[in-house]
Structure formats: C-alpha cells, structure tokens
C-alpha cells in the first residue's frame, strides 16, 4: 500500500510539472482567474535582489531558488514549499533555470482572516508551544497539498467554474497548511494576544507609517510589550530590528517611486521620510548595490 501511494505521489508531481509547462509556453509571471493564485516560469538564473514577500505559499516545481532571510541562507527546489507568514524582507535569486529546464512554480497569497478562522477550529498539535514563531520557512510538499494544487490547476480549463471552486480549494489549502510543520507558526502569528501576533501588528503599523520617525518605546507601549521584548521577538520573526525593517520599507518604496512614478532621487528620498538625500543614497547603495540613479537606469534598460 505504501509503495503504491509513493508511485501515486510521483505521478502527481509529474502531472503538476507537465500541467504548468503546458500552461506557460513563455517565461513570466501569470495571474489566474483564481484570486491570489499565480503561475511562474523563468528561463534564466539571475542575481540576488532584495525585496519583500507578503504572506505567501510558493511551491517550486522545477529548478531551484535561493533565499536569504537575515543571516540564514536557504535554497529550495522541486516539490518543496516556501511559506512566509508575515511581510518578510528577503533577498532571492534563481539558481537553476534554462530555456530547456525552466524554473517553474506556483504561488498562492495567504489570507490571514481565513487562517485565523480555521486555526480556531483545528486543535493545536500536541507539541504546541505558546512562545514565538518564525516568519518564514521551507518544508516538503505534502501529498494533500499536491492534490489540492492539481485540482486548482485543472480548474483553469474551466473558467466558468474557476473563481468559485478555486476559492473553496484555496480555503482547503489554508486548512492543509495548518496541519503541516509550519502550521504551528501560522497559528501563533494569527492568534490574537500572542507575542507573535503582536509583532505582526507592529509590522502592519510600520507598513502604514514608515515615513514617520520610529519611537520604539511608544510602539511597544501600544502593544503592551516592553521595548526589549518587542525588539527580541521582532528580530526573531523578521530577521531585522524594527528600525532596520522600517529602513527596508522606505528604500523599497523609494525604488518603486523612481521606477513607476519617475520621481527623482531627492524627491523619492523626501517622500519616504529621509531628511538627507546623501544618507538616502548611502543606504540605498548598501541595499541595492548601486547608487539610486544608476540602479533605476539599469533596471529600466534591462541591465539587471
């Protein structure tokens, strides 16, 4: 029985890869009619770039990707999951991707209210720990998640049903995630009153108020936490201190302003909360590897 199940799982993995390859004749990022469900194909490896992952589940189906979270480097390849439970600052790049063997993956945005509602209905595991979560991790693709994503892909041939039935399968995927090793972390992050959930509230506050001068004592007070506790748990979950996280938010938004809205360097710096364009330039180069103006030109001309 176990051997038959193993062969069935292998068949499912092959089917998943073949379905995605058939749906993606060229490289790019392809949203689907199912909310939050996206297909990805890339034919070339690339260099590491800093960015944020929002709460998301990524399943690598072919090829390999590298992600740095703080001082932790991880790589994940075929039929493994990368899961971010919070808005997570990372650097990442593709390690294995060619036109003959492209990097293929699927991703699903995680819905926090759904996780919270489902977590309240699912008993915690016996090893349940009320301490603190980590913000992201890699784990093996379970047979149950594989089956759910196969059914999600099959819906793409039935657009009249995809949106409604896709939402049901998406909810099932959220349920299945809560039963995996990282499910405990998702539970902590979405349990009101837990230390992890308070850090998630701090993250949301920073994302809405990143232009303001950060007063850690005041932020900790609104969360009923000691400043040292906020700092400790914030860094454990996000790999950054609150001030470093705010800086990443500012620089990320400044890059977007220059790329999308054609702001000049000084204008972008002031808009995200910097008082000194020189300081902005130094910190931008430290993160992105190039001065702001040169970085934006290279991105627009495809040199990156």
- What is the rounded CA–CA span in Å between residue 234 and residue 229? 8
**DSSP letter (8 states) at residue 111:** -
- pLDDT tens, 241-256? 999 999 999 999 999 9
CA dihedral 150, 151, 155, 156 (to 10 degrees): -10
**Angle 218-199-215 from CA coordinates, rounded to 5°:** 20
The three-class DSSP label of residue 247 is helix
Q: DSSP alpha helices (H): ranges in 94-194?
A: 112-119, 143-155, 159-178, 183-189
Q: What domains are there in the chain, each with its CATH number?
A: 2-189 (2.60.120.10), 193-304 (1.10.10.60)
**In b/e form, how buried is each residue of 248-270, taking b as 16+ CB within 10 angstroms?**
bbbbbbbbebbeeeebebeebbb
Q: What is the mean pLDDT of the chain?
A: 90
Bridge-based pairing of strands 64-69 and 72-76 is: antiparallel
107: pLDDT confidence band, cut at 50, 70 and 90? very high
The three-class DSSP label of residue 75 is strand
The predicted model gives 258-275 an average pLDDT of 95
Under 8 Å between Cβ of 27 and 43:
yes
Bridge-based pairing of strands 80-84 and 56-62 is: antiparallel
- What is the rounded CA–CA span in Å between residue 116 and residue 192? 9
- pLDDT tens, 199-245? 999 999 999 999 999 999 999 999 999 999 999 999 999 999 999 99
pLDDT at 297 over 80: yes
Which residues share a beta bridge with 186?
none
The three-class DSSP label of residue 107 is strand
Under 8 Å between Cβ of 252 and 238:
no
Under 8 Å between Cβ of 230 and 242:
yes
Under 8 Å between Cβ of 219 and 202:
yes
Task: Say if pTM beats, i.e. exceeds, 0.75.
Answer: yes
- What is the rounded CA–CA span in Å between residue 221 and residue 217? 6
1: pLDDT confidence band, cut at 50, 70 and 90? very low
């Amino acid at each position: 029985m176990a051997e038959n199940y193993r062969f069935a799982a292998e068949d499912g993995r092959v089917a998943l890869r073949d379905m995605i390859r058939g749906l993606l004749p060229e490289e790019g990022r392809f949203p689907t009619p199912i909310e939050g469900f996206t297909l990805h194909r890339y034919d070339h490896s690339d260099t590491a770039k800093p960015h944020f992952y929002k709460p998301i589940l990524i399943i690598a189906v072919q090829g390999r990707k590298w992600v740095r979270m703080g001082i932790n480097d991880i790589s994940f390849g075929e039929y493994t999951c990368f899961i971010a439970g919070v808005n997570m600052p990372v650097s990442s790049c593709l390690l294995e991707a060619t036109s003959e063997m492209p990097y293929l993956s699927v991703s699903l945005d995680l819905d926090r209210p759904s996780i919270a509602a489902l977590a309240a209905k699912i008993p915690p595991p016996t090893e349940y720990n009320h301490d603190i979560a980590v913000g992201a991790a890699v784990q093996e693709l379970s047979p149950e998640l594989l089956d759910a994503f196969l059914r999600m892909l099959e819906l793409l041939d039935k657009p009249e049903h995809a949106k409604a039935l896709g939402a049901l399968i998406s909810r099932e995927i959220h349920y299945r995630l809560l039963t995996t090793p990282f499910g405990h972390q998702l539970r902590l992050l979405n349990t009101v009153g837990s230390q992890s959930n308070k850090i998630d509230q701090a993250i949301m506050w920073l994302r809405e108020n990143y232009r303001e001068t950060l007063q850690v004592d005041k932020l900790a007070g609104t969360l009923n936490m000691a400043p040292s506790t906020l700092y400790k748990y914030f860094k454990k979950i996000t790999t950054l201190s609150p001030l470093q996280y705010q800086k990443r938010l500012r620089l990320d938004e400044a890059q977007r302003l220059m790329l999308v809205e054609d702001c000049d360097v000084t204008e972008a710096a002031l808009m995200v909360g910097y008082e000194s364009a020189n300081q902005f330039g130094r910190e931008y180069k430290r993160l992105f590897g190039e001065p702001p103006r040169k970085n934006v030109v290279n991105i627009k001309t495809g040199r990156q």
